[in-house]
Structure 1
Amino acid sequence: MADTTFFDGHNDFLLRLLRAPRDREQIWLKGDGSGHLDLPRMQAAGFAGGFFAIYISSPPEKDAPDFEAMMDHPPYDLPLPALMDAAETQAIALSMAGHLMWMERASQGALKICRSAADLRACLESGTIAAVMHMEGAEAIDPDLDALYAFHAMGLRSLGPVWSRPTVFGHGVPFRFPGTPDTGPGLTEAGKALIRACNELGIMVDLSHLNEKGFNDVAAISDAPLVATHSNAHAVTQSTRNLTDRQLAMIRESGGMVGLNYATVFLREDGRKLTDCGWDPVMRHLDHLVEKLGEDHVGLGSDFDGAELPDVIGDVTGVQALITEMRNRQYGEALIEKIARKNWISLLERTWGA
């Protein structure tokens, strides 16, 4: 049994299942040794719960440049894929929501999709993995928002208006290093309506991937805490995906929070993907987030199965090593428990209602 259980702000495990549906029992229930997550490793690691992302990947482009190689040799500025509309993405999003529901059934009580704070508390008390259905990029939501209500009925409780690619609702940041999140226009009128509808339904709005003007628009409209589920500090690593100190101050003032992203390109000061970076980049970001946000507004937001991670973490089983590193750097047990689990639970209670 792991020493400290933890709640995680973001993973892309559903995309793994989407790409290998015939192998899903091996991938989820038994673990095939690939990727960062599976049920046995999560249970062994102390994974108490987290956000499971519905994410629509772009179709491969003929003669596209090698983006992976570009990101390992900064500076880089990757072109964003074209907008995808609801007509071409809803079926994929529905399949991914179905995969999460299948995971719940197949786990035979080991995982539960949480639709309320009461569900969340019950899972934590019983040792059941608490899964939050999240949508990373709202391509599958039509401008009239009918699909939002349908997905909410399925269990959707967290949504990011964009994954870097633009949507009818707004604009994300391109993958650029060095760069700032001030990269384009803000929310569209449909995007502003989406934020209001999410507030009404109690769907948490995720600001990760949204550009700075879109961030400002959400802050002006939303009556809920501002949240970035998997983002880091721009003052440490000058990636467009990271948050400026001004943005961190706005999140703190709203009672929101930020989940520390383990992706090396957002951790390393040189913006590279290399994974042999040790603990220093991780802890520089964590220290900065705690300093600027305060100890009640920082959590974990791994980006498991969606990014290259430092070798010292590796996969979900490495989170306990991160917790040990916090102890080694004089983080007290009360603060560790807040970062590992308690802050996310408190945030969801404030967003969803107790």
Structure 2
Amino acid sequence: MASAPAPVFDGHNDMLLRLWRARDFDARAFLESDGTGHIDLARARAGGLVGGFFAIYPPDDAPPSPDGALNGGDDGGVVDHAPTGPIAPDHARRATLEMAAILLRLARARPDALRVCRDVAGIEAAEADGALAAIMHVEGAEAIGHDLLELETLHAAGLRSLGPVWSRPNIFATGVPFRFPGDPDEGAGLTDAGRALVRACDELGVMVDLSHLNAAGFWDVAQISDRPLVATHSNAHACAPSSRNLTDRQLDAIAERGGVVGLNFAVGFLRADGRRVSATPLETMVRHLDHLLGRLGEGGVALGSDFDGALIPAEIGDAAGLPALVSAMRAAGYGETLIARIRRDNWLDLLRRTLPAV
């Protein structure tokens, strides 16, 4: 009998966006494994995925795009385009609440399959029972107004992690655009509303995600908040000069604050040439892991796949392929304790330090 795959806790996926675009409010594509996207219940279990951050991302009003379109298709091009401008608050609120409803409905209907977790005790209980442990995360806070009332509502619904911006500006901050080659140091920092949002998140126990924030906003958060600095799905700029990747100076600041960076599987952010090619060897991912470990230490590196939101290496393919990355880490000489920290334990350790017990 084959042994169970090693458990993985993931820093970022866009499954809710995929279900929302399909108007699948009963989440049947997740439960019944229709083969679309990167994550469903069967493939999560096959790959050892035991939980992660489930992103609620309010897209612009453009028509639905195919899987991987946020990182471009497998066409050999580079990720280099300006983001859309600010989106309408009413549209953002509707999309955000509808994606939250998909997650909550699924957890209520099938707690054996998925649970919305508000602290580490909930994550560990879900994992013990064989249910996927979901941290509700908002990526792009356009649904929240200046008075932050919507933040209170989302927190009550289970929100425990928030990225103030996607790669576009809003009332809180400026998102780093997709440029290759590029630098995250582009645009202004947090607005007054953004500073208030960060303080409110700290008070509520909502983790602030820096992944799509530009450099000025990154340093503003570092000054305002005394919490660990976190980037749920980002890579090393020294290995691939994408504007979405973190510079060594940023990585050093995250290390000083006891934070964590989740390795993004998007090939355009992994490759030194920035090309959208799914035939990207897993050694490319290990090269980023090596650099992140050198800057952050063994307690500061995790995984942030971007499943359902990016073109990823074909050797992984989808959630069922996670053991391939674990094998690549072993082949690179990583010990089992370090591998366990990267694939699961570092996220849980961070969440113990950032989420209040419920």
TM-score relative to the length of structure 2: 0.94
Match of 2:236 in 1: 233
Aligned to 2:67: none
Matches within 5 A, 1:114-193: 114-193=117-196
Of 1, 4, 8 in structure 2, the residue corresponding to residue 2 of structure 1 is 4
Question: 2: CA distance between counterparts of 1:222 and 1:11?
Answer: 25
Identify the range of structure 1 (114-123 vs 161-170) with the bigger mean alpha-carbon deviation.
114-123
**Distance in 1 between residues matched to 2:323 and 2:165, nearest whole Å:** 31
Following TM superposition, by how much is the alpha carbon of 1:169 offset from its aligned partner in structure 2, in angstroms? 0.1
Q: Distance in 1 between matches of 2:215 and 2:282?
A: 29
2:256 matched to which residue of 1?
253
Contact 2:73 2:276 in 1 (8 A): no
Asked whether the 8 Å contact 2:240–2:274 carries over to 1, the reply is yes
1:305-320 → structure 2 map (5 Å cutoff): 305-320=308-323
Task: Letter of the 2:348 partner, please give it.
Answer: I
What code does the residue aligned with 1:346 have?
D
C-alpha separation in 2, matches of 1:79 and 1:224: 31
Name the aligned partner's letter for residue 243 of structure 1. L
* Corresponding position of 2:336: 333
Match of 2:84 among 74, 81, 84: 81
The C-alpha deviation readout for 1:113-149, integer Å capped at 9, x for no partner, is: 0112221232233332110000001010111100000
In the alignment, is the contact (CA less than 8 A) between 1:242 and 1:266 conserved in 2?
yes
Percent same amino acid at aligned positions? Answer: 54
1:299 is matched with which residue?
302
Question: Counterpart of 2:339 in 1: which secondary structure?
Answer: helix
Q: Deviations over 1:158-201 (max 9, x none)?
A: 00000001110000111100011001100000000000000000
C-alpha contact (below 8 Å) 2:270/2:285 kept by paired residues = yes
Distance 2:316 2:76 in 1: 19
Question: Structure 2 CA distance, aligned partners of 1:116 and 1:143?
Answer: 27
Distance in 1 separating the partners of 2:103 and 2:183: 34
* Residues in 2 aligned to 1:60 and 1:300: alpha-carbon distance in whole angstroms: 29
2:15 touches 2:39 (CA, 8 Å); kept in 1? Answer: yes
Cross-structure match for 2:115: 112
Q: Which moved more, 1:48-57 or 1:14-23?
A: 14-23
Q: Show the 5 A alignment for 1:208-227.
A: 208-227=211-230
Q: What is the distance in 2 between the residues matched to 1:69 and 1:4?
A: 30
- After the TM superposition, list the runs of 4 or more consecutive aligned residues in structure 1 that deviate by more than 6 angstroms: none
Partners in 2 of 1:221 and 1:316 — Cα distance?
36
Structure 1 residue 43: deviation in Å? Answer: 1.6
- Letter of the 2:5 counterpart: D
Instruction: Report the Cα distance in structure 1 between the residues aligned to 2:24 and 2:345, rounded to whole angstroms.
Output: 36
Deviation at 1:78, TM superposition (A): 1.2
> How far off its partner does 1:6 sit?
0.7
Give how far 1:24 is off: 4.7
Q: 1:31 to 1:164 in 2, by over 3 A?
A: same
Q: Is the 8 A contact 1:5 1:46 kept in 2?
A: yes
**Worse overlay, 84-93 or 291-300:** 84-93
Superposition deviation, residue 268 in structure 1:
0.6
Distance 2:104 2:72 in 1: 32
Question: C-alpha root-mean-square deviation of aligned residues, in Å?
Answer: 1.8
175-184 vs 1-10, greater mean Cα deviation: 1-10
Partner of 1:206: 209
For the residues of structure 2 that align with 1:114 and 1:201, how far apart are their CA atoms?
Answer: 15
- Count of aligned residue pairs for this structure pair: 349
- The answer to which of 326-335 and 278-287 deviates more is 278-287
Is structure 2 residue 24 aligned with structure 1 residue 28? no
Distance in 1, matches of 2:204 and 2:356, equals 11
Is residue 2:245 matched to residue 1:242? yes
User: How many angstroms does 1:22 deviate by?
Assistant: 4.4
> Matches of 1:175 and 1:305 in 2, distance apart?
18
Q: Report deviation, 1:9.
A: 0.2
1:46-92: CA deviation from partner (whole Å, max 9, x where unpaired) = 1111000000111128xxxx994798434x64122110243331111
For the 8 Å contact 2:19–2:27, the answer to whether it is kept is no
Q: Assess if the C-alpha contact under 8 Å between 1:85 and 1:167 holds in 2.
A: no
Q: For residues 42 and 137 of structure 2, what CA distance do their matches in structure 1 show?
A: 22
1:271: how far off? 0.3
